[in-house]
A and B are shown apart, each in its own frame.
Chain A
Amino acid sequence: MTIGEIGPAGQGDAVALRIEGEMTIYRAAELKDVLAGAVAQAVAETRALALDLSDVTEFDSAGVQLLLLARREAQRQGQVLRLEACSPAVREVFHLTGLTARFAAEDA
């Protein structure tokens, strides 16, 4: 359950954030700060924020909210939040909640 570093360098033009382990209510408060930090950094550096969720093992409503919040925050400040990769757990929830289309449409 480690949160990847916010790697400013070597990740193309985007601020990269990799989240591992649970993305659930149990870690929601902690992840909120991490995500907010990443968004702030992306905005400050006028770069996109690229999220790598390929190692997220569990994903619940709290995770969904966090993701939506981060994306809205980024958009509000003129930046883009991109999903680089999603684990099966995340994809399943996207499918269930009809979010697949929303994320896909904007990422395309």
Chain B
Amino acid sequence: MNLDQLIHTFIAESRDLLEAMEHALLHVAEEGDEAVNAVFRAAHTIKGSAGMFGLDAVVDFTHVAESVLDKVRAGTVPVTEDLVALLLTCCDHIGALVDAVEAGTLAGDDALTAQGAPLCERLQAYLGTPAAPAPVAKTTAAATAPATAAHWHISLRFGPDVLRNGMDPLSFLRYLGQIGQITDIALLDDALPALEGFDAESCYLGFEIGFSTAADKAAIDEVFDFVRDDCQIRILAPRTKVSEYVQLIDDMPEQRSLLGEMLVRSGSITARELEQALAVQSAGGAQAAPLGEILVGQGLVRPPVVEAALSKQKQANEPRQENRSVRVDADKLDRLINLVGELIIAGAGANLIARRTQIPELLECTSTLSGLVEEVRDSALQLRMVKIGATFNRFQRVVHDVSREIGKDIRLDVSGEDAELDKTVVEKIGDPLTHLVRNAMDHGIEPADVRLARGKPAQGVVSLNAYHESGSIVIEVSDDGGGLKRERILAKAIERGLVEPGRVLSDKEIFGLIFEPGFSTAEQVTNLSGRGVGMDVVKRNIVALRGSVEIASTEGQGTTVTVRLPLTLAIINGFQVGVGKSVFVIPMDMVEECVEFRDDPLHDYIDLRGQAMPFVRLRERFAVDGAPARRQSIVVVRYGSRKAGLVVDHLLGEFQTVIKPLGKVFSGVRFLSGSSILGNGDVALILDMAALLSVEDERSAAAA
């Protein structure tokens, strides 16, 4: 591990902490002290780690925020809405600083420093506020944080691998210097082996440090977080039992006199105390154990102090929860998925040859292999699956900020956080969702007086929900606001020339109009329909992910936008069909059944068990040459609430399909979402169900 990797760890951890901080800030109202503590801890840890790397800009800024938080924790500064908003902004600023660290532009970024300055001032205002007049508050403050510097003794023995792990013991000393003052230090080099046994890359150093600081034990202890596993650390609290010092001296026979002198010199212990303790101990000989009692008897021990120190020590030493997850570079994962894709294609080739040659052993081998490849594929894809909860939780912040901004009281309800989807999808869905949520708050939810007049609670609710449905993930953004005004949208659409006057449209079609580009650019759209800012962009983004979006609304009761996305963008189970010589792939999850097709030139729908179902002739749609096969089939597909048939020549069966994007040349092609390479090297085209079926919808609607 080198320093670069450590910095990456720092960046990743800081981001996690900032997220936790934000989350806690947003829940301060409900969770109270617990949340304040969480925020404090996060800020504190970021400061500590930043100090390790000498990122002064981060340390300085976070320090101010942390000081305010400390006051909040002590109860001297009340948690107000304004403070929470300010701290959220600070959170963002620290995030920006961390981004700068990642970009390597932290040093000398004056713009960032300038951004931080007003925040610092506002934070300082909280610090400057005289403590609450009530004397009670003062005492609590004094009890939680000892204001005056106290004298600690720190004993360090670095393990041999510290240097190799990319850490320099000196940086810990430097960092100590930032949270207090090193009053005395002795470097121990007794562990240095003879020249022959000396490994220049091992660490043999130890330090005895007299340290004066106002920080508490946990803070000192945290300095050594990064080396805890590689290092013996002992931190002796101020006014520790003399016996503990003696114990320390006893444990380090090599440095006995040095240490004793140092403890005396730094005032940790007086010379007399030390002498007495040592004398008593040697007089006691083998009965060294009751030393503590002797000391108590001599009045050298201050029991309450000892207990306090011990309990703090215990806290600090609580075993840290083992981290069971591994951080993996996203590029490595992508490479793995790509390789699995190639494996599937190669496997399909092998299968094909096996079937052609009809060698039983080979057939058996390839079939076992296929099964394994499928499992590998599933687990590889599973690696990239993340829960949507983290994305949803980010919206707590959006809702909090926007509701302050527009002066409405709005709450966010989140459900289905455990639904998983591909990381790449998650990354890309953030923006469209933000847009939908903002829209719901801005235009969906009515002002409080209107809500009360309509008999609704004053607080508006925006909800996010997610669930899986036939190979897709469905995300719903709903609000309990005024809903869409059907007639007005229709009128506007006719005025804009999007719809011919006199046409009869279903509700769904009318609401769908707000996703039309021509519609959303209309100026008065916001006050007219209450919706529509940039909805076309939202739709475009979602369609780009092979997804679709629908809207349902009841006037006066609210609106629900339903976004449907594929679970993964890389590999799917595909159902292959042949038309002429071309092969098309239909995502398996959407295939309902296959039925025989009887051509009837009079109808463009079939009777499926008493229900009319529209169908598409793929041969016509894609202008495939040649006469249709004698026995054609219909593949019944379902996408969302729609159902339709696809007329094909042959049914080829289920195959794993590695999705390759279509080249730029084909970017204008509708109805296709990608391509795939077959076992025999041919290219198959993957059908874009959302596009195919929506055109079918329009066509049948036009006919009706």
Chain A interface residues toward B at CB < 8 A: 25, 28-29, 31-32, 36, 60-62, 64-66, 68-69, 72-73, 93, 96-99, 102
Residue from A66, A73, A97, A102 in contact with B200 in the complex, judged by beta carbons closer than 8 Å: A66
Sample (17) of A-B pairs whose CB atoms are under 8 Å apart: A25-B201, A60-B163, A60-B168, A61-B168, A61-B170, A62-B200, A62-B201, A62-B203, A64-B205, A65-B192, A65-B204, A73-B195, A96-B173, A96-B185, A97-B170, A98-B184, A99-B187
User: Residue of A at shortest CB range from B196?
Assistant: A36
Q: Which residue of B lies closest to A99 (CB)?
A: B187
Nearest-CB residue, chain B, relative to A94: B187
Contact call A25/B185, Cβ cutoff below 8 A = no
Q: When the two chains form their complex, are residues A65 and B184 in contact, meaning their CB atoms are under 8 A apart?
A: no
List, in ascending order, chain A residues with CB within 8 A of B162's CB: 61
Q: Closest approach, in angstroms, between the C-beta of B262 and any C-beta of chain A?
A: 10
Asked if B186 lies at the interface with its beta carbon under 8 angstroms from chain A, I say yes
Hey, which chain B residues are within 8 Å of A68, CB to CB?
Answer: 189, 192
Which A residues lie within 8 Å of B163 (CB)? 25, 28, 60-62
Q: Which of B156-206 contact A (CB under 8 A)?
A: 158, 162-164, 168-170, 173-174, 177, 182, 184-187, 189, 192, 195, 198, 200-201, 203-205
Of the candidates A29, A69, A98, which one forms a contact with B195 in the assembled complex, judged by CB atoms under 8 Å apart?
A: A69
B187: which of A31, A64, A69 is its contact (CB, 8 Å)? Answer: A64
Least CB distance from B16 to A in Å reads: 29
Shortest beta-carbon distance from B233 to chain A in Å: 16
Counted as pairs of residues, one from A and one from B, with CB atoms less than 8 Å apart, the total is: 66
CB distance from A19 to the nearest CB of B (A): 14
Q: How many residues of B contact A (CB 8 A)?
A: 25
Identify the closest chain A residue to B208 (Cβ): A98
B195 engages A36 (CB within 8 Å): yes
Q: 10 smallest A-B Cβ distances: which pairs?
A: A28-B200, A98-B185, A32-B200, A29-B200, A68-B189, A60-B168, A61-B169, A97-B187, A25-B163, A61-B168
Residues of chain B lying within 8 A (CB to CB) of residue A69: 192, 195, 198
A17 to B183, CA, bound (A): 34
Known: A28-B200, A64-B170, A98-B184. 11 other contacts (CB 8 A): A25-B168, A32-B198, A61-B162, A62-B200, A65-B200, A66-B200, A69-B198, A72-B189, A73-B195, A96-B170, A97-B173
> Once bound together, how far apart are the Cα atoms of A28 and B192, in whole Å?
14
Chain B proximity of A40: nearest CB distance (Å): 9
- Cα of A69 to Cα of B200 in the assembled complex, Å: 10
Cα(A29)–Cα(B202), bound, Å: 10
Within 8 Å CB of B186, what residues of A?
98
B655 at the interface (CB under 8 A from A): no
B207 at the interface (CB under 8 A from A): yes
Residue of B nearest to A72 (CB): B192
| Residues B170 and A93 in contact, CB atoms below 8 Å apart | yes
Chain B residue, CB-CB nearest to A73: B195
How far does the alpha carbon of A28 sit from the alpha carbon of B203 in the complex, in Å?
11
Is B187 touching A98 in the complex (CB atoms < 8 A)?
yes
Q: How far is the CA of A14 from the CA of B163 in the complex (A)?
A: 32
In the assembled complex, which residues on chain B have CB atoms less than 8 Å from the CB atom of A96? 170, 173-174, 177, 182, 185
Measured between beta carbons, the chain A residues less than 8 angstroms from B203 are 61-62, 65
* Proximity bits, B202-238, A CB within 8 Å = 1, else 0: 0111010000000000000000000000000000000
Chain A neighbourhood of B169, CB < 8 A: 61
Collect the chain A residues with CB atoms within 8 Å of residue B184's CB.
98
Q: How far is the CB of B209 from chain A (nearest CB, A)?
A: 9
- Chain A residue numbers with a CB within 8 Å of B164 are 25
B201 touches A28 (CB 8 A): yes
Residues of A within 8 A of B187 (CB): 64, 97-99, 102
- Write out the residue numbers on chain A whose beta carbons fall within 8 Å of the beta carbon of B205: 61, 64-65
- Could you say which of A28, A66, A97 contacts B185, with CB atoms under 8 Å apart? A97
Instruction: Give the complex CA separation of A65 and B169 in angstroms.
Output: 11
Chain B residue with the shortest CB-CB distance to A62: B163
Complex interface bits, B132-170 against A, C-beta within 8 A gives 1, otherwise 0? 000000000000000000000000001000111000111
A73 proximity list for chain B (CB < 8 A):
195
- Of B189, B192, B204, B207, the most chain A CB neighbours within 10 A belong to B189
Nearest CB of A to B101, in Å: 21
Instruction: Looking at the assembled complex, report how far the CB atom of A95 sits from the nearest CB atom of chain B, in whole angstroms.
Output: 10
Q: Which residues of A contact B173 (CB under 8 A)?
A: 96-97
Minimum C-beta distance from B157 to chain A (A): 13
Chain A residues contacting B207 (CB-CB under 8 Å) are: 97
Q: Answer whether A60 and B200 are a contact pair too, CB < 8 Å, given A98-B184, A98-B186, A98-B187.
A: no
> CA A72 – CA B138 in complex, angstroms?
55
- A68–B193 CA distance with the chains assembled, in angstroms: 11
- CB neighbours (8 Å) of B177 from chain A are 96
